[in-house]
Amino acid sequence: MKSRLIASLVVGAALVLGTSGCSLISAHATTIDYSAAEGTNVPDESGPVQIRNTVIVANDEGTEGNFLAAFINNTTETYVVHIDFADGVAEQVIVPAGTVKSLGENADPILIRGLDTDPGAVLSASFQSGDGVTSVVSVPVLGGELEYLAPFVP
């Protein structure tokens, strides 16, 4: 009787370890940094301003693009974000303290003329603010096929 109880406990422990042991050695999906939308997030090392969901909406010919992004400044200081696109276009975005600034939505758009990048491709861009390092990311270039992006086609 005693050996049956011990055997049951051993089988139960093996079952518990077998079904939950993988979570001890597997990566947890909630700790993985990723872009939840079509755009690309800029690494936080680029400065105190967080830059999320960067995307360029281009016309069908790929000759002009509208740069869309969200700039999040959770600090108490106003910062300037420096953006340099691979095609030679350089821009600056002023982000006041404690604000979220969305480009492309009722704001002065950053239009990229002479884009020469077809929708579906990517364009390299570098971002920097404050004392942060320059981060280079690949910004996706999309067309207006998606209904919610159609208003942003230049």
In the chain, where the domains are located: 2-31, 44-152
35: pLDDT strictly greater than 70: no
Residue 72 or 11, more confident = 72
51: pLDDT strictly greater than 70: yes
Q: What's the pLDDT at 72? A: 94
In the structure, what pLDDT confidence band is assigned to residue 45 with cuts at 50, 70 and 90? confident
Secondary structure, 3-state, the chain: CHHHHHHHHHHHHHHHHHHHCHHHHCCCHHHCCCCCCCCECCCHHHCCCEEEEEEEEECCCCCEEEEEEEEEECCCCCEEEEEEECCCCEEEEEECCCEEEEECCCCCCEEEECCCCCCCCEEEEEEEECCCCCEEEEEEEECCCCCCCHHHCC
Of 55-59, 73-77, 103-107, 108-112, least confident by mean pLDDT is: 103-107
Mean pLDDT computed over every residue of the chain: 84
Arch. (CATH architecture) of 44-152: Sandwich (2.60)
Q: What is the mean pLDDT of residues 130-153?
A: 90
